[in-house]
């Protein structure tokens, strides 16, 4: 069995919209809807759990998702105060339904995740390791070390995307021991035990308003095709 955990529980302060960015319209669909539809098309037998921000108003937003999107989700739960807490809450919810299944964790504000990328990550998941998609940086890279900085070979640098794949028990073991620490992604908890697969430059993360402009340009130029919500 495979579970998909779509993390959409941020409030989007950096984005500056009146509603969390995952619910902002993109090409006629809420941003998070694109991810839900992509995963259900790529892995139709997988179960999907969506995390949303705390608050009744956000539950109402989730319930207003178009078409059959709510029926595609096995559950919708409130997240935590930060990403790591939201992920842990999601994993504990999933644990009620499987002892040790594959889990793919995805940022709800990466709307253009491709079916091919989802399958690449899913196929590489193995016990004891994390699996992540990455891309190489197009720019030169420098690293800051206290008061000094120096260039590093960008061919050695990998920019990490989602979805990230794990076995449930492996990730819970890593997360349950954390106290007072915070990581920006779950794969970092595995140190060097990480499988890297090819990412996708179209798999952008909507963080700032200008990212939405780029995403809309992808759609208008047909770099990205809008999913069929009615056929979901």
Triad 176, 109, 158: Cα angle to 5°: 70
The 10s digit of each residue's pLDDT in 168-206 is 999 999 998 776 566 778 999 999 999 999 999 999 999
The 10s digit of each residue's pLDDT in 110-167 is 999 999 999 999 999 999 999 999 999 999 999 999 899 999 999 999 999 999 999 9
The 10s digit of each residue's pLDDT in 21-69 is 999 999 999 999 999 999 999 999 999 999 999 888 888 888 888 877 8
**Contacting residues for 78 by C-beta, under 8 A, at least 6 apart:** 9, 51, 52, 53, 54, 55, 58, 59, 89
What is the rounded CA–CA span in Å between residue 89 and residue 78? 8
Q: Which of 130, 123, 133 is nearest to 203 (CA)?
A: 133
Whether omega for the bond prior to residue 161 falls within 30 degrees of 0, making it cis, is: no
What is the rounded CA–CA span in Å between residue 133 and residue 158? 9
Q: State the pTM of this model.
A: 0.94
Cβ–Cβ < 8 Å for 9, 42 = no
Question: All domains of the chain, ordered by start, with CATH?
Answer: 2-220 (3.90.550.10)
The pLDDT of residue 231 is above 70: no
Q: Which of 137, 165, 134, 140 is nearest to 152 (CA)?
A: 140
Cβ–Cβ < 8 Å for 209, 13 = no
Of residues 170 and 12, the one with the higher pLDDT is 170
Beta pairing, strands 47-52 & 148-152: unpaired
What is the rounded CA–CA span in Å between residue 4 and residue 122? 10
């Amino acid at each position: 069995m495979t579970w998909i955990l779509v993390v959409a529980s941020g409030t989007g302060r950096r984005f500056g919209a009146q509603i969390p960015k995952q619910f902002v319209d993109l090409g006629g669909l809420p941003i998070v809807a694109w991810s839900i539809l992509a995963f259900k098309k790529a892995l139709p037998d997988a179960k999907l759990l969506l995390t949303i921000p705390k608050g009744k108003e956000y539950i109402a937003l989730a319930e207003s998702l178009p078409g059959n999107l709510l029926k595609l989700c096995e559950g919708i739960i409130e997240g935590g105060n930060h990403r790591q807490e939201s992920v842990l809450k999601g994993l504990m919810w999933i644990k009620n339904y499987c002892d040790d299944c594959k889990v793919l964790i995805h940022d709800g504000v990466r709307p253009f995740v491709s079916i091919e990328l989802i399958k690449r990550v899913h196929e590489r998941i193995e016990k004891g390791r994390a699996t992540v998609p990455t891309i190489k940086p197009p720019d030169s890279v420098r690293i800051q070390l206290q008061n000094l900085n120096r260039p590093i070979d960008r061919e050695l640098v990998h920019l990490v995307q989602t979805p990230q794949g794990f076995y449930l028990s492996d990730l819970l073991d890593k997360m349950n021991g954390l106290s007072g620490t915070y990581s920006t992604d779950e794969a970092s908890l595995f140190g060097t035990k990480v499988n890297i697969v090819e990412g996708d430059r179209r798999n952008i993360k909507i963080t700032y308003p200008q990212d939405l402009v780029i995403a809309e340009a992808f759609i208008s130029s047909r770099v990205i095709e809008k999913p069929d919500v009615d056929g979901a």
